[in-house]
Structure 1
Amino acid sequence: MRLPASAALPQLPELVAGQHIDVRLTAPDGYTAVRSYSLASAAPGGVLETTVEELDDGEVSPYLVRGLDVGDRLEIRGPIGGWFVWREEEPAPVQLIAGGSGVVPLMAMIRAHEAAAHPAPFRLLYSVRSPEMAYYRAELEELARVSPRFDLDWVYTRRAPSGWPHAPGRLDVTGLAASVQTLGTSALTFVCGATPFVEFVADALVRAGRDPARIRTERYGGADGA
């Protein structure tokens, strides 16, 4: 979903990869609902871009996915956030670990990193239920193919592609270690996904000797990480 900044913000503040916005909807009877959505891109140009996962029992996401029309006005607050962000001044390698829709703010970091031709390596470990459930799959795979600065690892928890060398299953300590060891202990690590997924990954990284100060986490509600 791409939101023209002029629809809600006369002057768009600087966007930083990893930030989010709050969207507030108000019904005719005055009832309001507020939801937070991560920015999928931090590129300049007067556009806020985010990705909305439609929830069957959601109050807001079905409207944003199916009911919103070009020209509709939304009340937006943000961008928000200054810790779970990646900036070009960061010299260290970056390990990104995503579960399901938790890839959205990490995608903003990947896009910003590539746009800047930043020399530090980026690596994404992405856990999804099946190939069809992956966000930005084509873009990620193409970037991993052509960019010398970006690598991509997949974990499929329910169904893997035909010919995939590993059986489907949740990310475990062995799989996590195999992916993250490539960049070394100096890497800055960003983890985003459902709370159980994030807690497992962060705890496993610390137990493996990673400096907690080099691990940044963001989580959302729900019991399933991918």
Structure 2
Amino acid sequence: MTGWGTATVAGVRRPVPQAVELRLDVHDRVQHLPGQHYVVRLTAEDGYTAQRSYSVASAPGDPLVELFVERLDDGEVSTFLADVVEPGDILEVRGPIGGWFVWDGADPALLVGGGTGVVPLVAMLRTARELGRTDLLRIAASTRTLAGLPYADELLAAGALVVATREAHGIRPPGRLTAADLVPLWEPGQTAYVCGSSGFAESASRLLVDLGFPAADVRVERFGPS
């Protein structure tokens, strides 16, 4: 990861309410690792700047960098990216960033995501598909509703466990992710990757440790208000 650079917006899609998926052609791109993120910086005419970090959803082999942005009503950056940005626009970016929350593509992993916290886990899933090693991953995703879960169809197609807190999903009633949900996903030698809001990350990582996961094998990435 070096300094600030630029990216051309190659595609804009709005797959779920209050969110946007951006496909970026990053100039002088350095190939990322699954689990890393980019920072996007906006500069106003008066010189004021605002920047936010967004996880990469694409696999390293994808010619474009895919970012998933949740639109926050009071967000200085997310509202612009979701409402204003169009294909052909130039964005200022910095990345890829991150060295701890990355999957090496060789070792078994248990991926646990809450809401938009599934985005870096999707990058890991796509990388596993590129390598022909989807057998290495087990995935659990928690969401309020299935319609609001990023990449829901892709996760379900990969056999991910999806639990919803506001509605029934299949025969499972509404409810939070539990230890009983995670037990069938455990395999020897796994590293756990947990991503979501601060509350979700704390709860999910505690579940794993209480189940017997060594704390050193639980990697956590959390997000919250800037």
Pairwise TM-score range, normalised by the shorter structure? 0.7 to 0.9
Amino acid in structure 1 at the alignment position of 2:199: P
SS in 2 for 1:40: coil
**Residue number in structure 2 paired with 1:104:** 119
Instruction: Structure 1: state its 5+ residue gaps.
Output: 145-150
Q: Is the 8 A contact 1:191 1:218 kept in 2?
A: yes
Which structure 1 residue ranges, 4+ long, deviate > 3 Å from structure 2? none
Which amino acid letter does the alignment assign opposite residue 218 of structure 1? E
TM-score relative to the length of structure 1? 0.85
1:152 maps to which of 152, 157, 160: 160
How does 1:23-62 map onto structure 2 within 5 Å? 23-62=40-79
> How big is the shift at 1:120?
4.0
Q: What's the counterpart of residue 2 of structure 1?
A: 23
Rounded Cα–Cα distance in structure 2 between residues aligned with 1:116 and 1:184: 20
Cα drift, residue 209 of structure 1: 1.5
2:145 aligned residue: 130
Aligned with 2:56: secondary structure? Answer: strand
TM-score (norm 2): 0.85
SS in 1 for 2:87: coil
Per-residue deviation, 1:177: 3.5
Percent of aligned pairs with the same residue? 44
Distance 1:197 1:75, change over 3 A: same
| Match runs of 1:158-169 below 5 Å | 158-161=166-169, 164-169=170-175
CA drift at 1:185: 4.3
1:207 positional shift: 2.0
Asked if the contact 1:40–1:107 (Cα under 8 Å) also holds between the matched residues in 2, the reply is: yes
Q: Which runs of 5+ in 2 are unaligned?
A: 1-21
Q: Does 1:189 align with 2:192?
A: yes
The match for 1:213 is 216
The residue matched to 1:203 in structure 2 has which SS? Answer: helix
Cα RMSD, aligned residues only: 1.6
Distance 1:133 1:119, change over 3 A: closer
Higher strand share: 2
